[in-house]
Amino acid sequence: MTLALDGGTPVRRAGWPSWPPAATAEQRELLLEVLDSGAWGATSGTKVTEFAGAFAHSVGAQYGVVVVNGTVALFLALRALGVGTDDEVIVPAYTFVASATAVILAGARPVIADVTPDTLHLDPASAERLIGPRTKAIMPVHLAGAPADADKLGELARVHDLAIVEDAAQAHGAAFRGRPAGTLGDAACFSFQSSKAMTAGEGGLIVTDDLSLYQRLWSLHNVGRSLDGGWYEHPEVGWNLRMTEFQAAVLLPQLALLGGQLATRERAITFLERELKGFDGLALLPEPAGTTRNSRHLAMLRYDARAFGGRGKADFVAAMTAEGVPLDAGYRSLSREAALRPYGVQQVCPVAESAEESVVWIRQHLLMADEQALADIITAAEKVRQAFAS
């Protein structure tokens, strides 16, 4: 068969489910309610406060603070925990750059730890080797919707008196040993950017069980005001990092939809695991031990070029995309990000760096498809493998 790249017929001509999904009637109703009310900002309306409480409750946390995006959520959590100039925060190498730049925004230095070869999550052993006198916090990332190792990282934090800030941007609904992501550290940060499991285009949220930390988070995101203070009282320096009522109106109905969407993606993973069993050259990365719920933000695949005629990952991604299956090349290791070097990032992370050449992603919206569509992923991969190997 001729590859679509070479003028052949693509395996799949039909599209994939859209993300975010089409707006619901409830979202439209709530948006019009906010529009007609004229109370469009968080300080004049009720939807932001309602969403903060409802989301925190959904993950088993006591308090929630809603902000403009996930990067700001990480920055705010770090600042509220006292992270600042001359401090260091340990961040995994295989993650979005915002995990590190949020540390820089807080005035601290990101220290990049390597990841585990099987799951690509933060390696506790690598993190431990990097703990020094200036280390103030660890930022585990719940990568691809699966929780990081809260047991080992939590023990590290206790032994070395460090804070844990969960980067849960991809982990809405995930759980570790029955404990929801969001309750595994001192604070947890979620994202509502366009690609996330819950989305308002942009937005972020911090949850915590610590009342004093919540009060500080609330103050910092609301220009330094205090919960019981006056409008023009500013006990500390803060910023206007508030979400709008429109975004909260879009997000509120999604809390009820999340469970069904997670179940759909779990069925997709079950199908892919079955179909890829014994498939030479492609394998799903396993869940970290202790995962009791995975939000399946991404399916990460290990690509073995040897089974594909020695062709590199970029060729595979291009060929699959031409066949109508748009795969993603995934992250670069933060240890190689030139933008971070002026901030002292100089670690070598061989596992994360190797993943650049061997890991591809199936994004969330493809995992919302039915089995007939998912079967096209396997068919396209087999077609590409045969062509590359010939």
The Cα–Cα gap between 238 and 72 comes to 12
Residues composing the chain = 390
Active site residue 152: no
For residue 113, what are the β-bridge partners? 92
Q: From CA 273, how far away is CA 378, in angstroms rounded?
A: 11
Taking the C-alpha atoms of residue 27 and residue 200, their distance in angstroms, rounded to an integer, is 11
Q: Are 277 and 110 in contact (CB under 8 A)?
A: no
Reduce the DSSP state of residue 292 to 3 states and report it.
strand
φ/ψ of 80, rounded to 5, equals -65, -25
From the candidates 47, 152, 196, 313, give the one annotated as an active-site residue: 196
Exposed/middle/buried for 90, CB within 10 Å: 0-12, 13-18, 19+? buried
Non-local (6+) Cβ contacts of 382 within 8 A are 279
Strand partners, 83: none
Cis peptide preceding 20, ω within 30 of 0: yes
CA angle 326, 9, 312 (to 5 degrees): 45
HSE at residue 247, side-chain half, CA atoms within 13 A, is 24
- What is the SS3 assignment for 330? coil
Place of tokens 């993973």: 269
- List of residues 6+ apart from 353 with CB closer than 8 A: 93, 333, 335, 336
Structure tokens at 317: 């991604």
3-state SS, one letter per residue, for 43-91: CCCCHHHHHHHHHHHHCCCCEEEEECCHHHHHHHHHHHCCCCCCCEEEE
Active site residues: 196
